[in-house]
Structure 1
Amino acid sequence: MKQALLAIFATGIAMCTYAQNDSTQKEKVDTIKIGGMVIIKKSDGKEHSSDKTITISNHHHSRKNENISTNWGIIDIGFANYNDKTNYAQAQADGFVAPGVGDDQFDLRTGKSVNVNLWFFMQRFNLVKHVVNLKYGLGLELNNYHFDDQRVYFQENPTKVVLDDRWKDANKNKLAVDYLTVPLMLNFNFTPGRESGFGFSAGISAGYRYSARQKIKIDGERIKNHDDFNLEPWKLSYIGEVNLGPVKLYGSYALDNMWEKGLNQRPYNFGLRFSRF
């Protein structure tokens, strides 16, 4: 191993000596790469000149900026909740909820009410010097609302929310609502030469609800009811993300109520984003 290193070192010295003795060129540039380090030596090509410049850099800290960058397979993991502004007296009068159903019954289990987003891709399109970009994509938003009161039950045709004592000892009672979503954001990248840089994005998203279901688990038995439950088919949301180097955060807040009638709840999500940019 030592002999090999000495041979490489001697070869390097010989190459540098040859470069210095070649007076036919006005400037000589020698580049050596060691792992992620790049060493560049420049001289004026004269035999006895002391005019030399040595530059050392780490090429892993920078990358080539492309006008369109694509990121495949992004995953978000966070929490799902909603801002409940329902007038429950009016909801009872309209027959959408049964007596006894109020905001306490719709309280969520924060630790178990989760949001998982699976983005097929996101692209970043350069607008101004790679600092200001347009960011867009396509993916699935999966929201799981776990009720604190296990008795909450959605009757179907027509939808009516009741308290069913059959489920009072349930291990799980959740409403799952999933959307096919297109996000559109204006991205500000303060470190365009880095892949895991610093910046933020803000914009809106449009989602189409393709699935909704209530899932109850009790004594090993699973009950699953698929229905639209009078949920709005479309969801428009304010969205944003913050890039703190390797740590990326995301959040969303719906512009309007997630229900067509009866309830008035605006969903919001926040959490960690596992993404290249």
Structure 2
Amino acid sequence: MKNLIVVFTMLCSSMLMAQNSPSISIDGDVVTITDTKGNTWLINDMGISKNGALIVREDEMDEVDAAEDLQDEIDDLREEVNMDDVSENDYEDLLEELTELEEELNNLDNTYAMAIDTAKDSTSIKVGDWKIIIREEGDGSNDVDFSMGKDEYEEIEEEDKDVDNFDTEWFLLSVGYNTYVNAENKLDVPAPYTALEDLHFWGSMDVNVDVFKSRVSFGEKGFVNFNYGLGLEWHHYRFDQDFTILPDLDTLMLVSETIAYDKNKFNTTHATLPLSLGFETRPWDTDESFRMSFGYSPGILIKAKTKHKIDGNSDIEKDRFNLNNFRQEVSATIGYGKFNLYASYDLTAMFKEGEGPELHPVSVGIIVRRGF
């Protein structure tokens, strides 16, 4: 029977009354089986087919236990056919393997059967006992719900990593401590202006308000950005010593006072054009992002004034006080989420050359990053 087409029909004693007689045909690597229900199974190099439909591909045979067992039974049967030693039990075993294969495939169908239901703003996908619901949110992200049966539930937020290449915020605020350093970057103030050296910590403040700040992001993710805006900056200096800065003079002059001031303050106001180059690790989610930037801010002096307060009464004097009309400031920021720090240094001296001490304002503080 070797190298010949072998067709044989074997009936189990328990199937003698069946309407359809089972049969098996072995033709080289092609095996055709008809079971008692009239189903035709074809096993070849393509895989396993049932009634003309491929149900297990050849590359999937190792993943389906019943298909692997069925192939073993067919190999055993092929050897016994070649040895002319085929028994009724061989065919019964083969039919049993076919039954197990069908049951396993049915189980796989029940487990991985997929049903998709699309609503107006959501898509529901059911895979066996798992149900996946994808809902579109107004901010462009997708809210994905996973559920299995009635006991397990997990919700995750699918991140939308697209970043607007252009964005503008309004009225950003930063507040910090304000002081100055000399030409050698020390806190000492040269004579005859040493009274300027003693600053009261809680009254010496730097306040920045960016009327607007626009960000231009580079690339799809926006890890690098360029920022520009328009702002106002107030330097407040509160002195511990009692003296007066005289106005309308060619050089800065301080006059000591015998009166004890409740407050002795000197304030300057500049209009600024802040520019900066920034780096952000998660620009699509700024609440969980680390950032840093380096900036340059030219400014023009708008006004300056002194303020003395005695027994609830205030005396205010407005003048230019020999201040430079223009200033150049460099800055650096670092932060994570909503917590951000800044430091700034004026490249330009506070007072005009030859009309006052060489002092460079320095500020450190915290940024209220979000505007409106």
Which residue does the alignment assign to 2:253?
161
How far 1:55 sits from its partner (Å)? 8.3
Alignment of 1:141-156 (within 5 A): 141-156=233-248
Q: Which residue of 152, 165, 168 maps to 1:67?
A: 165
Amino acid at match of 2:336: L
Paired residues for 1:92-131 under 5 Å: 101-128=192-219, 129-131=221-223
Show the counterpart of 1:223. Answer: 315
Root-mean-square deviation (Å): 3.1
**1:247-262 matches, cutoff 5 A:** 247-260=339-352, 261-262=355-356
Counterpart pick for 2:157 among 53, 58, 68: 58
Q: TM-score, normalised by structure 1?
A: 0.74
Show the 5 A alignment for 1:1-277: 20=115, 29=125, 31-32=133-134, 38-40=143-145, 56-58=155-157, 64-85=162-183, 88=190, 101-128=192-219, 129-166=221-258, 168-196=259-287, 197-260=289-352, 261-276=355-370
CA distance in structure 2 between the partners assigned to 1:62 and 1:170 by the alignment: 58
Structure-1 separation of matches of 2:233 and 2:116: 66
Cα 1:28–1:224 change in 2 (3 A) is: closer
Alpha-carbon distance in 2 for matches of 1:21, 1:206: 59
Q: Residues 88 and 275 of structure 1: is their aligned pair in 2 closer, same or farther, counting only changes over 3 Å?
A: closer
Alpha-carbon distance in 1 for matches of 2:280, 2:163: 12
Q: Would the aligned equivalents of 2:298 and 2:327 in 1 still touch at CA under 8 Å? A: yes
Query: 2:305, 2:161 → 1: CA distance?
Result: 45
2:189–2:197: 8 Å Cα contact kept in structure 1?
no
Instruction: Please state whether the residue corresponding to 1:205 is helix, strand or coil.
Output: strand
Find the counterpart in structure 2 of residue 4 from structure 1: none
Where in structure 1 are there 5+ consecutive unaligned residues? 1-18, 42-53, 90-100
Q: Distance in 2 between matches of 1:109 and 1:77?
A: 16
Give the structure with the larger strand fraction.
Answer: 1
CA 1:150–1:37 in structure 2 vs 1: closer, same or farther (change >3 Å)?
farther
Give the % identical residues: 27
Greater helix content: 2
CA deviation vs aligned residue, 1:8-54 (integer Å, no higher than 9, x gap): xxxxxxxxxxx7288xxxx974535599992256xxxxxxxxxxxx9
Normalised to the residue count of structure 2, the TM-score between the two structures is 0.56
**What is the identity, as a one-letter code, of the residue corresponding to 1:231?**
L
Partner residue in 2 for 1:51: none
Superimposed CA distance per residue, residues 167-204 of structure 1 (whole angstroms, 9 cap, x where no aligned partner): x4101111100100011111001112212221101021
Relative to 1, partners in 2 of residues 1:21 and 1:139: Cα closer, same or farther, differing over 3 Å? closer
- Which runs of 4 or more aligned residues in structure 1 lie more than 6 Å from their structure 2 counterparts after TM superposition? 34-37
Which residue identity does 1:271 align to in structure 2? G
Task: Please state whether the residue corresponding to 1:212 is helix, strand or coil.
Answer: strand
Residues 268, 34 of structure 1: alpha-carbon distance in 2 compared, 3 angstrom cutoff: same
Distance 2:154 2:162 in 1: 19
Instruction: Flag structure 2 segments of 5+ consecutive residues without an equivalent.
Output: 1-113, 118-122, 126-131, 147-152
Paired with 2:293 and 2:208, the residues of 1 have a C-alpha distance of 17
Distance 1:109 1:257, change over 3 A: same
1:77, 1:32 → 2: CA distance? 43
Shift of 1:262: 2.1
State the Cα distance separating 1:62 from its structure 2 match.
5.1
CA distance in 2, matches of 1:235, 1:254: 7
Instruction: Evaluate the alpha carbon distance shift between residue 58 and residue 67 of structure 1 in structure 2; reply closer, same or farther with a 3 A threshold.
Output: same
Aligned residues: 232
